[in-house]
Amino acid sequence: HVKKFVEKWLGGGRVVDVRGAPLTVMPRVVLHDGEGFRIGEAAGLVYPLTGEGIRPGVLSAIALAEALSTKKPLEEYRRRVAPIVKQVEFQKKLLSLAVRMSERGGALLELADDGVLRDYIEENLSARTLLALLAKKPAAAARLIAALLR
Ligand SMILES: Cc1cc2nc3c(=O)[nH]c(=O)nc-3n(C[C@H](O)[C@H](O)[C@H](O)COP(=O)(O)OP(=O)(O)OC[C@H]3O[C@@H](n4cnc5c(N)ncnc54)[C@H](O)[C@@H]3O)c2cc1C
């Protein structure tokens, strides 16, 4: 991937060293695997559009700690992390959509206002608002997708 990137975007070159750590991009959310509870990265609680996993990790740890003292810990844990799970699943859909559109080679490169996307990533915007925008304003939607790909 690094070689392809260098070729495409920098016009070629020589890669002398490659180091990295895998980023979770399309996590599968598993809160309990049949044997034990999972939190953070192990539970798949990483936001696909940003790779943010520290905050969801801490929040899920707190949620589980609190849920463990209730009568139905798994149900309570699910309820407490539901907003994070919802965000993860919706971001996965957006990312898949962005990839599909990119593969079709549409006019996705122009980006005007990416404030909407930033708000979304910061969780100030609901998924419903974002979907309404996508449905009513195709041009804005295209720009949004372009923003997703940056
Ligand atoms: C390159 C990179 C950049 C990132 N940048 C950001 C960022 O800017 N902001 C952000 O929010 N997130 C970022 N993330 C994601 C974030 O680092 C992770 O989502 C987050 O650290 C997950 O926390 P965690 O506690 O769930 O898991 P981890 O941090 O992976 O902790 C799990 C720990 O368990 C240990 N462990 C594993 N197996 C065992 C075992 N059998 N016995 C004992 N110990 C074990 C591991 O060694 C590890 O220390 C980044 C990730 C990467 C790879």
Tokens matching residue 68:
């463990």
Comparing CA positions, the residue from 23, 24, 21, 54 lying closest to residue 39 is 54
For tokens 């006019």, the residue is 107
The predicted pLDDT at position 114 comes to 55
Stretches where the chain sits below pLDDT 50 are 107-113
Q: What is the pLDDT of residue 39?
A: 98
Residue among 54, 55, 91, 121 whose CB has most ligand 1 atoms within 8 A, to mutate? 54
d(CA 91, CA 46): 10
Query: In the chain, where are the structural domains located?
Result: 22-81
Residues 146, 109: contact at Cβ < 8 Å? Answer: yes
* Residue 114 near ligand 1, beta carbon < 6 Å: no
Ligand 1 neighbourhood includes 48 CB (under 6 angstroms): no
**Which residue among 39, 50, 52, 62 has the greatest number of ligand 1 atoms within 8 angstroms of its CB, and so is best to mutate?**
52
Q: Do the Cβ atoms of 48 and 95 come closer than 8 Å? A: yes
Strand partners, 32: 37
Give me the pLDDT at residue 109, please: 38
In this predicted structure, what is the pLDDT of residue 6? 86
55 CA: nearest ligand 1 atom: 11
